[in-house]
Amino acid sequence: MSDRAPGLTVNGRRRGLDAVPDEERLLDTVRQRFGLTGTKEGCRTGDCGACTVLVDGRTTLSCLTLTREIEGSTVLTIEGVAADRVGRSVQAAFEREGALQCGYCTPGFVVALTGLLKEPSTTDDDQTLLDGLAGNLCRCTGYASIRRAVATAREGRP
């Protein structure tokens, strides 16, 4: 028997998982069950990064994560980012640099960068952050404005 609390904490709110079958992906749970469609569905094979969420603070591909597997964890999705100081600074940096176009990969980038900036050990230079984002695909920007936003977010980190 696990002594972990059942369910998930998603963006600070407790969510029960009673109806969730074992094979359901976290991506589908947050989007379809919880209505949090800000987490985007791209490839569903772990190649594009659009579905990135934070699970207990770690950047996680929700399309390759079974919901039951992380029961008891804390999940942050794009909808919860604005409630986080670091997350707000990341959003502000993307807004200031215009670091988005179609916006479909944007939640994944914002969540991933928020996670990276909250990890004290990996936030010292832009290259570490950029390496951490290399698994997020963007087809619109050529990453140029995203690079600028990463630098702005690092400098403006609370």
- The single residue among 2, 18, 35, 158 that binds other proteins, judged by CB under 8 A, is 35
143 binds other proteins (CB under 8 A): yes
Question: With helix as H, strand as E and coil as C, how does 59-99 read?
Answer: EEEHHHCEHHHHCCCEEECHHHHCCCHHHHHHHHHHHHHCC
Q: Residue 105 burial (CB < 10 Å; 0-12/13-18/19+)?
A: buried
79 binds other proteins (CB under 8 A): yes
Which x/- pattern over 98-117 shows residues binding other proteins (rule: CB under 8 A)? x-xxxxxxxx--x-------
DSSP letters spanning 30-42: IIIIS--TTS--S
Among the candidate windows 2-10, 65-73, 115-123, 139-147, which touches other proteins by CB under 8 A? 139-147
The H or E element spanning position 13 is strand 13-15
In the window 49-78, what residues touch other proteins (CB under 8 A)? 50, 77-78
Q: What residues line the site for other proteins (CB under 8 A)?
A: 31-32, 35-45, 47-48, 50, 77-79, 81-82, 91, 94-98, 100-107, 110, 130-131, 133-147
